[in-house]
Amino acid sequence: MRNRSPRLLPITLLYALIASLAAAPSVSIAQSAVVEPALQRIVIFGASGRVGSRIVAEALARGHAVTGVSRNPTRIPTEHPQLTKVRGDVMDPDSIEAIVIGFDAVVSAIGGNNAESDDPNDSFPARAGRALVTALTRLGTAAPRLIVVGGGSTTLESSPGVRFDDPSDIPTGPRGARILGHRVVLDLLQAVDSFRWTFASPALQMRPGERTGRFRTGGSVVLRDANGVSAISMEDFAIAIVDELENAQYIGAQMTVAY
């Protein structure tokens, strides 16, 4: 019986095989390893509020060290070995500077109505925003990163470059001033380049609810679901804030969170 010589691949097929092997992605141990986010020291103003308290809880659950600031620290409901409660005034740049120096990040979740004024510039969010910008600008390169929680209806855009601006959706009096005060803060931050900041706008509807971990993030344009609804729970919004702290995606920009 005659021995058969092995068949040779056509030269064109051989070249194609070599090329495909060269183009195939390689996976190294470093690439496949899960990288844990660095633990941070975080100051949270408004830590006793509905949104602020949820951000405190989310950050603590992930192992971060949190300093919760309030004019009345006993109102901060959470108890945790990694939580420090301090008295401070977010509308006083000197108080802010004394508290935040040496920290990695600052979150401001300030709400409340200023019963003494109907002027958005006198609202608590606006006054806090100006004080934070003053304090962090003073710190210069030593300033921690800042995330400001704002309102959705007066800061988001219906389409790129077009803000929601329907006066019928905004109440009068101090409550309306507070809602419009978030826009004052966003305008102020957009002129800042001396420290890292993010303005976080929730969906148009945000209420206490379920922590699902399933949501979308975007920039300045409102996000809606398949039914045209723009909504997020406070619990999932808190997840998105801590996600942003751990993996910065919106430095010097506005972000939004919705289902």
In a domain, 35, yes or no: no
Q: How many residues does the chain have?
A: 259
In a domain, 28, yes or no: no
- Max Cα distance, the chain (Å): 107
pLDDT in tens, the chain (259 residues): 444 444 444 554 444 444 444 444 433 333 345 567 899 999 999 999 999 999 999 999 999 999 999 989 999 989 999 999 999 999 999 999 999 999 999 999 998 899 999 999 999 999 999 999 999 999 999 999 999 999 998 899 999 999 876 555 677 888 889 989 999 999 999 999 999 999 999 999 999 999 999 999 999 999 999 999 999 999 999 999 999 999 999 999 999 999 9
For residue 221, the enclosing domain spans 40-258
What's the predicted TM-score (pTM) here?
0.84
In a domain, 10, yes or no: no
Per-residue model confidence (pLDDT) at position 3: 46
Phi, psi of 248, deg, nearest 5: -60, 125
In a domain, 50, yes or no: yes
Find where tokens 């103003």 sit. Answer: 45
Contacts of residue 20, Cβ cutoff 8 Å, sequence gap at least 6: none
Closest-CA residue to 85 (of 72, 94, 96): 72
Neighbour tally for 69: CB within 10 Å: 27
DSSP code of residue 25:
P
Per-residue model confidence (pLDDT) at position 163: 85
Q: In Å, how far are 10, 196, 217, 239, 249 from 214, measured between CA atoms? A: 51, 27, 10, 10, 18
Per-residue model confidence (pLDDT) at position 167: 53
Per-residue model confidence (pLDDT) at position 15: 46
Cβ atoms of 203 and 152 closer than 8 Å: yes
In a domain, 22, yes or no: no
Cβ atoms of 188 and 129 closer than 8 Å: yes
What is the total count of domains within the chain? 1
- Measure the CA–CA gap between 254 and 218, rounded to whole angstroms: 8
Cβ atoms of 198 and 250 closer than 8 Å: yes
231: β partners: 205
Per-residue model confidence (pLDDT) at position 172: 80
Per-residue model confidence (pLDDT) at position 27: 37
Cβ atoms of 157 and 221 closer than 8 Å: yes
Element (H, E) at 39: none
- Residue 142's CATH number: 3.40.50.720
Element (H, E) at 69: strand 65-70
- Measure the CA–CA gap between 130 and 128, rounded to whole angstroms: 6
Per-residue model confidence (pLDDT) at position 39: 94
In a domain, 49, yes or no: yes
In a domain, 53, yes or no: yes
Query: Which tokens belong to 85?
Result: 């409660």
In a domain, 1, yes or no: no
Q: In Å, how far are 96, 144, 205 from 202, measured between CA atoms? A: 25, 23, 8
